[in-house]
Structure 1
Amino acid sequence: MTLERRLNAFRPDLADERLVGQVQAARFVAGKPAEIVVNKSAMRIQPDDASALDTELLWGEEVMVFDRRDGWAWAQCKLDGYVGYIKEDALGELHADKTHWVIAPRTFLYPGPDMKIPPLDTLSMGSRLTVTGEAETRGTRYLLTDRGAVIASHLAEIGVSQFNDYVSIAGRLIETPYLWGGRSSFGIDCSGIVQVALMMVGKHVLRDADMQEASIGTEIERSDLQRGDLVFWKGHVAIMEDKNMMIHANGYSMTVARERLAGAINRIAPIYGQPRLYRRP
């Protein structure tokens, strides 16, 4: 059986030591932990800026690094197992366990607890930080982290769910630009919004639409569709808002948008055919 290259770290010259006996490689190594220290880091198929964008990793997410050379790291995302090449300068040493994550679509990271100070960076929903304290300035409460200060209401403890409906989270990303391989509120693709929205309610799923089609929940009939169900076409996935309306990041509007399922089926059919599957997470 051929292992999925997106979820297993192996090349002819090097492979993850956990794959001994499963793949052929000149050398097997243990991955070394690191974390993402930029607001989002592209993960590419090859160590080349012109190479296709497979996915993105968010601030504070952990990776296992198997190789570093020529400014690139070959790594695996701990969250979903995705393997690829990321810029080495996007990585830092693994800090303390992350305690909080961003629950707003986007927020600013300030050097101190004051919104009037120019921010250090902008963080996307799902970015992870370690909170070390809190402060209040002119009536605005901030959480102090190992990287800077963030508006307190824009963060929540990881594992203490602020949401119980992942569809409402997807709805907060309406009009986010469509980006093939994107996984942030700066740009996102169809399976990216499914993964991020489910992640924010504590459900971890695989990254790409074909992986999600094969693994999420249970298969249902179109006649049974309800809020939160997923519709899969070849290479595409959408989230049902109710039995008629859906939310999806799509290359037609080039945004995250609402669309009637019936209209989408008619529009997509000449290019990609009918939906292949309906699933309930």
Structure 2
Amino acid sequence: MLYGICNLSIVPLRAKEFDTSEMISQVLFGEHFTIIEKQKNWSKIKLTFDDYEGFIDNKQYVEISEACYHQISDHKQFYSGEILDFITNTKDELTTIPLGSNLPLYNNQKLEINSETFLYEGNVLSEKKPKTDILQIAFTYLNSPFLWGGKTPFGIDCSGFTQMVYKLCGYTLFRDAKQQATQGEVLSFIEESEPGDLAFFDDEEGIISHVGIVLNDYNIIHVHGKVRIDTLDHSGIFNADIQKHTHKLRVIKKMI
């Protein structure tokens, strides 16, 4: 078994092994993974955080040893808490990192990849946070543009948004909305929901295709063109800008 880690800021994870293939997700700095299959130019990988699989360009990651992989996995997880920041190596070279990047083997402002040490002086998130903090983290992404497969404030999709918000609060969600809908506890009525719960929405075929985070006073924060706040009712999401419902409610689930 081979192992790898992302040593660049934001790397596309693609459905197939070529540059024009659909970007199904992104691999952020410091995320480590197993390498399922290594080809000449591409590798099929499985991310350790959520078991998500896809193809990554061989030039956009570095291999790590099995011992290093397990050391990172067993170490307490730390994440960058700034919308955009940077790390420096021993040569004072900068690498930008977005919100939610992993900080492998972080200790006293230092992190390590393959025995190379980096310095990070920004805000660090590491502890499980109370449910009330989910909204504060979610608001950090307000007005971020929609990007299919995106996971950062510079472009994000609906399930990438919910996954990253929960990740920064210390909780693990699957990557896609239909996968996230298999987690948590079903609530019978919208009135039972609390801020921080997840609302799921289905398409015309009944397939769950959208997710958002429940707010106070029957509002929801979700990604529709951008990260925005709309009204949530028994029918779904009502967009006041266009005066119509945009998503049909399927279920609300309590994750924590």
Whether TM-score is above 0.5 comes out as yes
Rounded Cα–Cα distance in structure 2 between residues aligned with 1:273 and 1:198 = 22
Rounded Cα–Cα distance in structure 1 between residues aligned with 2:145 and 2:29 = 19
CA change 1:269–1:232 in 2 (3 A) is: farther
Aligned residue for 1:144?
110
Q: Which one has the largest radius of gyration?
A: 1
Rounded Cα–Cα distance in structure 1 between residues aligned with 2:196 and 2:106 = 36
- SS of equivalent to 2:8: coil
Q: Which residue of the other structure, out of 212, 217, 220, is the alignment partner of 2:185? A: 217
What residue ranges of structure 2 are gaps of 5+ in the alignment? 203-208
Matched, 1:86 2:60: no
Q: Which residue of the other structure, out of 36, 39, 42, is the alignment partner of 2:12? A: 42
Q: Are the equivalent residues in 1 in contact too, given 2:89–2:118 (CA < 8 A)?
A: yes
What's the CA shift for 1:104? 2.1
Aligned residue for 1:167?
135
Aligned residue for 2:237?
265
Rounded Cα–Cα distance in structure 2 between residues aligned with 1:217 and 1:85 = 32
Rounded Cα–Cα distance in structure 1 between residues aligned with 2:33 and 2:139 = 29
Q: Which residue of the other structure, out of 129, 147, 150, is the alignment partner of 2:103? A: 129
Matched, 1:186 2:162: no
Could you tell me which amino acid in structure 2 is paired with residue 202 of structure 1?
G
Matched, 1:103 2:81: yes
Instruction: Say what the alpha-carbon RMSD is for the aligned residues.
Output: 2.8
Matched, 1:242 2:211: no
Q: Are the equivalent residues in 2 in contact too, given 1:226–1:243 (CA < 8 A)?
A: no
Could you tell me which amino acid in structure 1 is paired with residue 237 of structure 2?
I
Rounded Cα–Cα distance in structure 2 between residues aligned with 1:78 and 1:35 = 10
Q: Are the equivalent residues in 1 in contact too, given 2:146–2:157 (CA < 8 A)?
A: yes
Aligned residue for 2:145?
177
Matched, 1:155 2:124: yes
CA change 1:226–1:275 in 2 (3 A) is: same
Aligned residue for 2:251?
277
- SS of equivalent to 2:120: strand
Aligned residue for 1:138?
none
Q: Are the equivalent residues in 2 in contact too, given 1:66–1:75 (CA < 8 A)?
A: yes
What residue ranges of structure 1 are gaps of 5+ in the alignment? 1-30, 135-142
CA change 1:132–1:44 in 2 (3 A) is: closer
- SS of equivalent to 1:214: coil
Report how many aligned residue pairs link the two structures. Answer: 233
Could you tell me which amino acid in structure 2 is paired with residue 240 of structure 1?
V
What's the CA shift for 1:271? 8.6
Aligned residue for 1:228?
196
Rounded Cα–Cα distance in structure 2 between residues aligned with 1:214 and 1:272 = 23
Q: Are the equivalent residues in 2 in contact too, given 1:102–1:127 (CA < 8 A)?
A: yes
CA change 1:270–1:70 in 2 (3 A) is: farther
CA change 1:112–1:70 in 2 (3 A) is: closer
Rounded Cα–Cα distance in structure 2 between residues aligned with 1:272 and 1:259 = 10
- SS of equivalent to 1:73: strand
What's the CA shift for 1:61? 1.1
- SS of equivalent to 1:279: strand
Q: Are the equivalent residues in 1 in contact too, given 2:10–2:28 (CA < 8 A)?
A: yes
Rounded Cα–Cα distance in structure 1 between residues aligned with 2:36 and 2:104 = 25
What's the CA shift for 1:46? 0.5
Matched, 1:196 2:164: yes
Rounded Cα–Cα distance in structure 2 between residues aligned with 1:266 and 1:186 = 25
Q: Are the equivalent residues in 2 in contact too, given 1:178–1:256 (CA < 8 A)?
A: yes
What's the CA shift for 1:129? 2.0
Query: What fraction of aligned residue pairs are identical, expressed as a percent?
Result: 23
